[in-house]
Amino acid sequence: MSAYIAKRLLAAIPVLFGLTIIVFLIMAMIPGDPATAILGSYATPENVEKLNRDLGLDKPLLQQYLIWIANLFQGDLGRSYTLNRPVLDEVLERFSATLILAGTALVLCSILGLIAGVISAVRQFSWVDKTITLVVLIGISIPSFWLGLLLILVFAVNLRWFPASGMYAIYGGGGPLDLLHHLFLPALTLAVVATGVIARLTRTAMLEVLRQDYIRTARAKGVTENRVIYRHAFKAALVTVIPVIGIQAGFVLGGAVYIETVFQWPGIGSMLVKAISTRDLLLVQGGVLVVASAYVLFNLAADVLQTVLDPRLR
């Protein structure tokens, strides 16, 4: 099994390289002069020329990429002109906040989605199943940025149970409890869509598995029905759901852009939106690269977990 995991890790390397190529190319395709785009229209010609030289934009594309990737390996993603600090510092700082939010949402949607899906399948066609199916449909269709606003109105403004924005209280904040208090609403909002997707898939997977011959075998052995469902069927269903949880990591990381904006969470999503509006393209580049790499690693983790569960894949 460790050989397989090592193989998967190695296979992730070309994907990560591919990411750098796409990120690099996207930025290279900026219409007009990139230096002007980066520095903004009020830049002096001297500055533009200097940046062009600094970025190596006067060289051929391949050479540009090699310089860029060499810098990347030294942790140099350039400087943000709006923040006047190294892109990497800003991105990593922001990313830790995003990781807390998205990670919590991912755990939340996995647990809720799996539970809802299993209950729905076990109680197929009952009112519980129908209610879950309807709630899931609403969850998948609801705009998360709007849901966030509704939750703020109800739980922050009217009931005052949770804060409306930020990661820590401004006065006397800090500490894990304060963080949890701030985390609850945004993490919940972020988890809604993924919960729906996972619940749907879990239901289908459970129904599919419960029809298999080996479930009949388990019943023929005289195993209790609870054991049949929660041990035999659930484990097999989990194997098909786990890759989808990996994919949902992408939707959660992406969806964080909305949720961080709505809840003013100091993460990489709200940073990206601001950076796009101010055309701070190096910051955008660094942010996209870090989030995309994180997604690749999430998928890798899902892959490995699937292998641990399914001996046939080893």
Partner 1 sequence: MAEASTATAPAARPRKRSSGRPDNLGLLLNNRLATAGLAIFALIVLTALLAPLLPLPDPDVTAPADRLLRPLSEGHLLGTDALGRDILSRLVWGSRVSLAVGISATLIAAFFGSLIGLVAGYAGGRVDTLLMRGIDMVMAFPYILLALAIVAVLGPGLLNALYAIAVVNIPFFARNIRGIALGLSRREFVDAARLSGKSHAQILFIEVLPNVLPVIIITMSTTVGWMILETAGLSFLGLGAQPPQADLGSMLGDGRKILFTAPHVSIIPGLMIFALVMSINLIGDGVRDVLDPRLKSGALTRPVARTAVMRDHAPGKFLPSPGAVLDVRGLRTEFHFGREIFHAVGGVDMRLGQGECLGIVGESGSGKSVAAMSIMGLVPTPPGRITQGVALLDGEDLFSVSDERVRQLRGSAVSHVFQDPLSTLHPLFTIGDQLIEAIQAHQPLGKARATEKAAELLKLVRIPNPAERLKAYPHELSGGMRQRVCIAMALAGDARIIIADEPTTALDVTVQAQVLSLLDALRRENNTGILFITHDFGVVSAICDRVAVMYAGQFVETGTTAEILSSPAHPYTAKLIDCVPVLGQPERRLDAIEGRPPVVNDLPVGCRFAPRCPRAREDCRTGPIPLTRFGAGREVRCIHPLTREAADA
Residues 91-110 that bind partner 1 (CB under 8 A): none
Residue 188 binds partner 1, judged by CB under 8 A: no
Residue 41 binds partner 1, judged by CB under 8 A: no
Q: 77 and 280 in contact (C-beta within 8 Å)?
A: no
Q: How far apart are CA 63 and CA 90, in angstroms?
A: 27
Structure-token pair, residue 145: 């940025």
Q: Which stretch binds partner 1 (CB under 8 A): 51-59, 91-99, 173-181, 247-255?
A: 247-255
Q: Which stretch binds partner 1 (CB under 8 A): 13-21, 80-88, 111-119, 182-190?
A: 13-21
Q: 67 and 20 in contact (C-beta within 8 Å)?
A: no
Q: Which stretch binds partner 1 (CB under 8 A): 58-66, 77-85, 91-99, 148-156?
A: 148-156
Site string for partner 1, 168-187 (x = CB under 8 A): --------------------
Q: 288 and 24 in contact (C-beta within 8 Å)?
A: no
Q: How far is the CB of 177 from partner 1 (least distance, A)?
A: 26
Contacts of 262 (CB under 8 A, 6+ apart): 145, 148, 149, 152, 186, 189
Which of 257, 271, 300, 302 is close enough to bind partner 1 by CB under 8 A?
257
Residue 216 binds partner 1, judged by CB under 8 A: yes
Nearer to partner 1, 179 or 278 (CB): 278
Q: How far apart are CA 56 and CA 130, in angstroms?
A: 60
Which of 51, 77, 194, 262 is close enough to bind partner 1 by CB under 8 A?
262
Nearer to partner 1, 156 or 179 (CB): 156
Q: 109 and 194 in contact (C-beta within 8 Å)?
A: yes
**Angle at 273 (CA atoms; ends 267, 274), nearest 5 degrees:** 90
Footprint (CB under 8 A) of partner 1, residues 281-300: 281, 284, 288, 291-292, 295-296
Collapsed DSSP state (helix, strand, coil) of residue 222: coil
Residue 232 binds partner 1, judged by CB under 8 A: yes
Q: Which stretch binds partner 1 (CB under 8 A): 41-49, 71-79, 81-89, 252-260?
A: 252-260
Which of 105, 167, 185, 236 is close enough to bind partner 1 by CB under 8 A?
236
Token look-up 């940025």 returns: 145
Residue 145 binds partner 1, judged by CB under 8 A: yes
Computed over its alpha carbons, how large is the radius of gyration of the chain?
23
Site string for partner 1, 189-208 (x = CB under 8 A): ---------------x-xxx
Residue 219 binds partner 1, judged by CB under 8 A: yes
Nearer to partner 1, 59 or 219 (CB): 219
Q: 203 and 266 in contact (C-beta within 8 Å)?
A: no
Q: Which whole-number Å values give the CA distances from 306 to 34, 187, 202, 215, in the listed order?
A: 43, 25, 15, 20
Residue 114 binds partner 1, judged by CB under 8 A: no
Alpha-carbon torsion, ordered 79, 291, 152, 106, to 10 deg = -160
Q: How far is the CB of 106 from partner 1 (least distance, A)?
A: 12
278 burial (CB, 10 Å; 0-12 / 13-18 / 19+) is middle
Which of 30, 135, 297, 304 is close enough to bind partner 1 by CB under 8 A?
30
